[in-house]
Amino acid sequence: MFKGIRKILVGGEKEKEILDLIREHIEILSEAAETLKIAIEADDPSLSYDICELERTGDIIRREIALRLYEGAFLPAVRAEFYRFAELVDESIDLIEDTSVYFNMMSNINPEIRDLCLRIAEINCKMVDYLYHAFDSLEKEADLSDKTIKLRAKEQEIDGLKREIHSKMVQIDIKSFWEGYILSNFLDNLVNISDKIEDAADVIQILNVSLR
């Protein structure tokens, strides 16, 4: 009974656990994005195994978040948004994993587009940092708009790079169907990571608005 009264008066333990789990989840995403960047930079496809490991940890955290939310953390009106956020972070990690798997299957990245791919990987890392700060601001700041605007600007930068890659891609000499297929999937996944991160930032903005 005293525990129940304490929960009403003090409360917030489940919520704190979820916030910590989400922070941990974003940190996993950051680590995966950073590892992918290093893999492209150092031409080291073996790092994809580390990314697969991070993806599994991300899955475990997402399930844990779902379980804690189901146990009654936060108001029901915002629980769905918290889970949607965790799902989007998880989908971003999945995309990084897929990118790294295709990278592992490629002999190397064509020099014509290598720097552009590396630039995208760097921007992805930056975007994850911004995402972390935006999420952190939910607890610390009243206005989050500048944080999400920064993210959107980075995503637009990636869209520009994507167009540049596409224009160069058509000039690359492809020797077999599978070489083209793998390259195409590698690039698709690489440029889609930022879309997912942007979607996750949008959920932060929705949470912000729904609690106003």
Binding site for other proteins (CB under 8 A): 8, 11-12, 15, 19, 74-75, 77-78, 137-142, 144, 207-208, 210-212
CB 144 to other proteins: min, Å = 8
CB 138 to other proteins: min, Å = 5
Query: With respect to other proteins, which residue has the nearer C-beta, 184 or 210?
Result: 210
Query: With respect to other proteins, which residue has the nearer C-beta, 5 or 170?
Result: 5
d(CA 192, CA 129): 17
Q: How far is CA 70 from CA 12, 80, 169, in A?
A: 15, 10, 46
DSSP track, the chain: -HHHHHHHHT--HHHHHHHHHHHHHHHHHHHHHHHHHHHHHTT-GGGHHHHHHHHHHHHHHHHHHHHHHHTT-S-HHHHHHHHHHHHHHHHHHHHHHHHHHHHHHSS---HHHHHHHHHHHHHHHHHHHHHHHHHHHHHH-S--HHHHHHHHHHHHHHHHHHHHHHHHHTTSPP-SHHHHHHHHHHHHHHHHHHHHHHHHHHHHHHHHHHT-
CB 94 to other proteins: min, Å = 27
Query: With respect to other proteins, which residue has the nearer C-beta, 103 or 135?
Result: 135
CB 208 to other proteins: min, Å = 5
Query: With respect to other proteins, which residue has the nearer C-beta, 37 or 68?
Result: 68
Query: With respect to other proteins, which residue has the nearer C-beta, 156 or 210?
Result: 210
CB 74 to other proteins: min, Å = 6
> What sign results for the dihedral spanned by CA atoms 54, 35, 40, 42?
negative
Query: With respect to other proteins, which residue has the nearer C-beta, 37 or 147?
Result: 147
CB 8 to other proteins: min, Å = 7
